[in-house]
Amino acid sequence: MPAALTPAERDFLRLVSRAAYANPFSAERDGLDTRIAAVPGDEPDVLARLLSRLRRRLVAIERRVALAELSPEDRALVAHGTFFDVFHRFAADFDGLIAAQLEAGERRVAVPFAREVLGRLTGRGIAPERAERLLGFFWQMRRAWSFIGGGLVGQGSAMRALREAAWSSVFTHDVALFEAWLWDRLEDFATLILGETGTGKGAVAGAIGRSGYIPWDPARAAFAASFTQTFVPVNLAEFSEGLIESALFGHKKGAFTGAVADHPGLLARVPKHGAVLLDEIGEVSLHTQVKLLRVLQERAFTPVGGEVPERFAGRILGATHQDLDRLRAEGRLRDDFYYRLCADTIRVPSLRERLAEAPGELGELVQVLVARIVGAPAPDLARTVEARIVAELGPAHPWPGNVRELEQVCRRALLTGRCGAPSVPPPDDADALAAALRAGALDAGDLLARYCALLYAAHGTYERVARITGLDRRTAKKHVQRGQALAEAG
């Protein structure tokens, strides 16, 4: 009779297998951890207790039976327990590797603990080829845990759901499915990130884009690329219609006046397992949407003035603050482009929602932002800034600029000792506009331009003007500049 796990061992390892592949930001994973550790949910060091129980079980199984004699199902359960054990044994080493790679930038760094990781995996019967893939998988999981958990802070349910959604965008809803079938196919899945201006859509995209799978390169004893090079963000609203195609797809020498040499576009810079963020995706013209649709469907693009298609190797992330249903209804967004883009959609909550749900998130965010501004954790300084915000702005402040506004408020408090809103436009500007209206001295274009200039003076950003007026950012900028010129002309 072949060797087998006992019913108790099998039940235990099935729980561990579920935990190993569960979303670490989910309530399911929290519940599994406490069940495996056999402790209450509020017990400290649940993970340490879990790992201790797991390691004792694995040692006892190895002493009692030869792993090669187990059934395929039992061997798979022991393998999943091994994955969980090895990953957490080297978690601190992977964290150190993240810090070292951030410092090294594009240069790939050595992984001195890789041989030991591979040895522990192959020592429990895992084939060398799969062990190398798992090493890359562990590296990916630890980066995702660091960038998602460390970059998307907040303990309310909205932020917990956001972290869970970001993790699923990297590993799908079923990590076992990802590890078996999709670890090198996620480039075929686009993600659309929605939310108001300033909510942190770029931070979500960056966490996802830097968490792609990077394979192990045994010849160089290093991972095949630096994660600092795998994420390429671009704000489409920064480019005029005449330049956006060259920026994205590149151009060939002689394609237009001034094209004195071949120029690779942003899409050519995205490596395999990398991602490009197309921010303000709602701003692109229908013509450019057609070309991007080809990238999404065929993973190919042709540089301006070129004839030979080039392959896009990475993944597309799109982001916008605009109402895409409205854009589709107005004919400004193609349905086929929209449907191909939104295989996965993540909504980033506004700061108003977050603070209404969990007021304590204000202090948590201020801690993070002040540390970012001064370059190191400064809890006492952050508490001083938070107290100033509460005293001057109060709990009812609407935070129209969301986290971006909060960061500028923190900077203002550090710089000036106060955090009140910027001064409103001078009364004479508003009075002059009102007088011109009463006199019937403005045509529709001048009226819109003067109004946009007034809004810009009050709020300081083209994005805010666009949001108030319902215009796209580039159009709002054009009207602001025209309104400023009209005001100067008197």
Q: What is the largest CA-CA distance in the chain?
A: 100
As a whole number, the mean pLDDT across the chain is: 91
Question: What percent of the chain lies above the pLDDT cut of 90?
Answer: 73
SS percent in the chain: helix, strand, coil, step 5: 60, 5, 30
Quick one: 204 and 297 in the same domain? yes
Cα angle value 468/470/471 (rounded, 5°)? 110
Six-digit token string for 9 = 């061992």
Is there a contact between 317 and 208 (Cβ–Cβ < 8 Å)?
Answer: yes
* Total domains in the fold of the chain: 3
Is there a contact between 121 and 131 (Cβ–Cβ < 8 Å)?
Answer: yes
Quick one: 260 and 311 in the same domain? yes
What residue has token string 């709602």? 282
Quick one: 183 and 326 in the same domain? yes
pLDDT at 425: 46
For the packed helices 201-209 and 157-171, what is the interaxial angle rounded to 10 degrees?
Answer: 30
Quick one: 258 and 383 in the same domain? no
- pLDDT of 473 > 90? The answer is no
Is there a contact between 200 and 152 (Cβ–Cβ < 8 Å)?
Answer: yes
Residue 99 resides in a domain: no
pLDDT in tens, 358-397: 999 999 999 999 999 999 999 999 999 999 999 999 888 9
Q: How confident is the model at residue 238 (pLDDT cuts 50, 70, 90)?
A: confident
For residues 145 and 45, what is the distance between their CA atoms, to the nearest angstrom?
18
For residues 224 and 218, what is the distance between their CA atoms, to the nearest angstrom?
9
User: Could you list the residue range(s) of the whole structural domain that residue 161 is in?
Assistant: 132-349
pLDDT in tens, 343-355: 899 999 999 999 9
- pLDDT of 431 > 80? The answer is no
What residue has token string 């989910």? 26
Which of 304, 321, 349 is a domain's end point? 349
Read off the DSSP letter of residue 281.
G
- 152 three-state secondary structure: coil
- 194 three-state secondary structure: strand
For residues 449 and 479, what is the distance between their CA atoms, to the nearest angstrom?
4
pLDDT at 488: 67
pLDDT at 3: 78
pLDDT at 118: 97
- pLDDT of 255 > 90? The answer is no
Residue 459 resides in a domain: yes
Burial class (CB in 10 A: 0-12, 13-18, 19+), 233: middle
Q: Which of 88, 335, 110, 80 is CA-nearest to residue 216? A: 110
Which of 372, 396, 416 is a domain's end point? 416
Quick one: 433 and 372 in the same domain? no
Question: What percent of the chain lies above the pLDDT cut of 70?
Answer: 96
Cβ neighbours around 295 below 10 Å, total: 21
Q: How confident is the model at residue 15 (pLDDT cuts 50, 70, 90)?
A: very high
Is there a contact between 453 and 416 (Cβ–Cβ < 8 Å)?
Answer: no
Residue 356 resides in a domain: yes
Quick one: 218 and 326 in the same domain? yes
pLDDT in tens, 266-296: 999 998 889 999 999 988 999 999 999 999 9
Cα angle value 383/388/391 (rounded, 5°)? 125
Six-digit token string for 316 = 């597309």
For residues 176 and 302, what is the distance between their CA atoms, to the nearest angstrom?
36
Is there a contact between 290 and 278 (Cβ–Cβ < 8 Å)?
Answer: no
Q: How confident is the model at residue 426 (pLDDT cuts 50, 70, 90)?
A: very low
Quick one: 199 and 345 in the same domain? yes
Six-digit token string for 198 = 């300033």
Burial class (CB in 10 A: 0-12, 13-18, 19+), 316: buried
Which of 392, 416, 440 is a domain's end point? 416
Residue 266 resides in a domain: yes
Quick one: 335 and 358 in the same domain? no
Handedness of CA 261, 267, 273, 279 (dihedral sign): positive
Quick one: 197 and 253 in the same domain? yes
Quick one: 442 and 312 in the same domain? no
- pLDDT of 461 > 70? The answer is yes
Measured in degrees and rounded to the nearest 5, phi and psi for residue 217 equal -110, 95
Residue 76 resides in a domain: no
For residues 151 and 233, what is the distance between their CA atoms, to the nearest angstrom?
17
pLDDT in tens, 151-166: 999 989 999 999 999 9
For residues 435 and 429, what is the distance between their CA atoms, to the nearest angstrom?
10
Q: Are strands 315-320 and 275-279 parallel, antiparallel or unpaired?
A: parallel
Six-digit token string for 318 = 């799109």
For residues 344 and 354, what is the distance between their CA atoms, to the nearest angstrom?
22
Residue type, 406: L
The radius of gyration of the chain's CA atoms, rounded to the nearest angstrom, is 27
Beta bridge partners of 315: 275
Cα angle value 190/195/199 (rounded, 5°)? 115
Quick one: 216 and 314 in the same domain? yes
pLDDT at 475: 87
Burial class (CB in 10 A: 0-12, 13-18, 19+), 231: buried
- pLDDT of 193 > 90? The answer is yes
- Higher-pLDDT residue of 145, 434: 145
Residue 364 resides in a domain: yes
Q: Which of 41, 139, 127 is CA-nearest to residue 86? A: 139
Residue 189 resides in a domain: yes
Quick one: 161 and 174 in the same domain? yes
Instruction: List the single range of 109-118, 409-418, 429-438 with lowest mean pLDDT.
Output: 429-438
- pLDDT of 224 > 50? The answer is yes
Residue 147 resides in a domain: yes
- pLDDT of 421 > 60? The answer is no
Q: What CATH number does residue 208 fall under?
A: 3.40.50.300
